[in-house]
Structure 1
Amino acid sequence: MKSELYERPILGITMGDPAGCGPEITVKALRNKEIYDMCRPLVVGDSKMFEDSIRILKEKKIKVRRVSLVEDARFEYGTIDVYHLDLVDMSQFQYGKVSAMCGEAAFQCVRTVIELALAGKIDGTITNALNKEALNLAGHHYSGHTEIYADFTNTKKYTMMLAHEDLRVVHVSTHVALRRACDLVKKERIYDVIKIAHNACRQLGIAEPRIGVAGLNPHSGENGLFGTEEIEEIIPAIKQAASEGFNVEGPVPPDTIFSKARGGWYDIVVAMYHDQGHIPLKVVGFVYDREAQRWGSVSGVNITLGLPIIRASVDHGTAFDTAGKGIQNEVSLTNAIRYGMQLVRNKDK
């Protein structure tokens, strides 16, 4: 069933934690006919949740169709094909509640979509948000999607990329304590991330990627005055990458590198740790409407690089505080689908 290069790719979209916003924003995203014009979406999850989202949204033109095989999906606009997994006991279910049942449901959706991609049944995977507490309550001790994907695909060298419009960031480390993150700033890892970043930009259609590498310390260490990681680890990694032909610059002070990237200096930035990369992306991608007292835009995309399969994701959480109310914004999911499609199109180029 795997689609040919120039056909609409089949993208598997996970439900996410059913107590969160995943089912709702999936229905909202798939109300857009343009999605069906560019790809063939297959939702992986419990069909009951999508039926309930349709009820909440009072959506009369969209219906759900259960399938048990990818080959049975029709990919027709107006009908959401759900690769049905019977995961949620509606008599025990509650929106916005952390539970082992919902953590298990979210995990099984991720596991299934990875298996479908590895088997060549689908071309790429798109993930909705899961809740880490619920995931751990269900007995799955991962810090997030990235680590699940790495484990199930047996991938050792990988990284997270966040993207909003032309601002792209990859990370040397992500879900570890800040003290530990500083210890992980090592030449070999930084070099690997630079190389992964270069390849990702090429896959996105950027022929000659320009890579900016952030420093770890204030002012990038000020020649050792505020720390020596730049001298001992970051600069040697940059020099090695540059000697191999990568267009890479740094270490650039962390307080200016993202403004430069926004201004077009770089196609992608290598951040040293989670918040260094996440904060600037979310400042530009997450817009809160003061007057309406709600989020007007939540539009970043999270992509795992270095995997043998494609994974793009929403760049927000489960929104437990407003889940089930019909007010969630689907922009991030729509953007993730677009990114997933672009990665599929350029995969073999």
Structure 2
Amino acid sequence: MTKPVLGITMGDAAGIGPEITAKTMLTHPGLREQAAVVVIGDADAMRAGAQHAGLDPAAVTVIDDPSAASNDPTIIEVLQTGPSLAHVPVGDIHPDAGDGSYRFVVEACRLAREGKIHGIVTAPLNKAAMHAGGHLYPGHTELLAEQFDVKNFSLVLSAGDLYFFHLTTHVSLRQAIEGITPERTNNVIDLVAAFCRALGKPDEAIAVTGLNPHAGENRLFGDEDADVLAPAVEAARARGLNVHGPLPADAVIPQAVGGKWNMLIVCYHDQGHAPFKAVYGDEGVNITVGLPVVRVSVDHGTAFDIAGKGVAREASLVLAAERAAALSMGWGEVWHAAQAGE
């Protein structure tokens, strides 16, 4: 195999997913030199998305199997997954769009399990729409983990060589605090270490952020850093891992952006997402580490407010596809290293 086959899931039909997917497929021909790319979604929604993006809707064609893809950069080859979503209005939550976005991911996972695609690239879905469609998942990451039956996984934001692993993600702040347990902290530290080994960097330094201000300031601002995070770091260091922390988040995150750390474990969603998106914007992607197949996503949402207006930027989706293409060929090493670390 000289090129990996990537499946781009179209995301929510009412959001910007179809138009940024159309832009990615038709205006970035260099991507096809890195991978064969198919869209897993709905042909009618893709035609509408192409039209909204100022592109030719006739470029959308339906194929039955990834092996039938020509990878012609002038066309968008779609694996039709479920009934047409032509009736879904742009810019509003719709249960059929939510159901569709769920189906696209499930189909991508099936194709990956069968070896027909080698990487999954996800355009954004809308969680409220997915829930309205009857699928009560917190987001992509948890749905993918269930489909592949994995327990130890992490949402990872990445820009270049910088990776932000997350102890918790799509839960309330109260639930996040409860979810930062010794077991979870140890599991994620081992997952990062496995990822580093697979990248050929077994001695890479790993920083763990504190949960509380000033990493608890010797218990002045909470006990979690001393009682949960610090013992997990000490245990990891005893296993020979190059782990440091817990370190105050307001200090260590700027240090990571400045290049001192490439591997960072943050405690909860906004502790990682807010500074990462503020600094990197379209230059960042979302990788799920812990799955048997590479999955890379945009680091933004469905943007209902601009959907259908042709102004949505595809830069993050293009970068996600490029990262998936680059990682997919060696992802088996990441998976095996992660399994060995469990």
Report the TM-score, using the length of structure 2 for normalisation: 0.93
Cα shift readout 1:102-132 (whole Å, capped 9, x = no counterpart): 0111111011001100111110101111111
- Aligned partner of 1:80 in structure 2 is 76
- Aligned partner of 1:329 in structure 2 is 313
Aligned counterpart for 1:66 among listed residues 40, 62, 65: 62
CA distance in structure 2 between the aligned counterparts of 1:343 and 1:206, rounded to whole angstroms: 15
- Residues 95, 135 of structure 1: alpha-carbon distance in 2 compared, 3 angstrom cutoff: same
Partner secondary structure for residue 270 of structure 2: helix
Q: How many residues are matched?
A: 332
> Contact 2:18–2:50 (CA<8 Å) still a contact in 1?
no
> Contact 1:33–1:77 (CA<8 Å) still a contact in 2?
yes
- Aligned partner of 2:208 in structure 1 is 213
Cα shift readout 1:267-316 (whole Å, capped 9, x = no counterpart): 11100111111111111123xxxxxxxxxxx3321111111222111111
- Aligned partner of 1:244 in structure 2 is 239
Q: CA RMSD in A?
A: 1.7
Partner secondary structure for residue 188 of structure 2: helix
- Residues 323, 202 of structure 1: alpha-carbon distance in 2 compared, 3 angstrom cutoff: farther
- Aligned partner of 1:111 in structure 2 is 106
- Aligned partner of 2:336 in structure 1 is none
Cα shift readout 1:302-347 (whole Å, capped 9, x = no counterpart): 1111112221111110010010111110111011112212221322
Aligned counterpart for 1:174 among listed residues 169, 185, 205: 169
Partner secondary structure for residue 249 of structure 1: strand
CA distance in structure 2 between the aligned counterparts of 1:88 and 1:279, rounded to whole angstroms: 36
Partner secondary structure for residue 33 of structure 1: coil
**By how many angstroms is 1:202 displaced?**
4.2
CA distance in structure 2 between the aligned counterparts of 1:334 and 1:197, rounded to whole angstroms: 25
> Contact 1:23–1:49 (CA<8 Å) still a contact in 2?
yes
User: Mind listing any 5+ residue stretches in structure 2 that lack a counterpart?
Assistant: 334-342
**By how many angstroms is 1:222 displaced?**
1.2
Q: Larger helix proportion, structure 1 or 2?
A: 2
Alignment of 1:1-349 (within 5 A): 4=1, 7-30=2-25, 31-60=27-56, 63-90=59-86, 92-204=87-199, 206=201, 208-286=203-281, 298-349=282-333
- Aligned partner of 1:292 in structure 2 is none
- Residues 163, 62 of structure 1: alpha-carbon distance in 2 compared, 3 angstrom cutoff: farther
Cα shift readout 1:205-227 (whole Å, capped 9, x = no counterpart): 64542211001111111112211
Code of the residue aligned with 2:78 in structure 1: it is V
> Contact 1:16–1:106 (CA<8 Å) still a contact in 2?
yes
> Contact 2:82–2:103 (CA<8 Å) still a contact in 1?
no
**By how many angstroms is 1:89 displaced?**
3.9
CA distance in structure 2 between the aligned counterparts of 1:47 and 1:256, rounded to whole angstroms: 47
User: Mind listing any 5+ residue stretches in structure 1 that lack a counterpart?
Assistant: 287-297
CA distance in structure 2 between the aligned counterparts of 1:141 and 1:308, rounded to whole angstroms: 23
Report percent identity of matched pairs: 38
Partner secondary structure for residue 220 of structure 2: coil
Code of the residue aligned with 1:258 in structure 2: it is I
Report the TM-score, using the length of structure 1 for normalisation: 0.91
CA distance in structure 2 between the aligned counterparts of 1:307 and 1:227, rounded to whole angstroms: 34
> Contact 2:286–2:299 (CA<8 Å) still a contact in 1?
yes
> Contact 2:51–2:57 (CA<8 Å) still a contact in 1?
no
CA distance in structure 2 between the aligned counterparts of 1:118 and 1:193, rounded to whole angstroms: 24
- Residues 215, 98 of structure 1: alpha-carbon distance in 2 compared, 3 angstrom cutoff: same
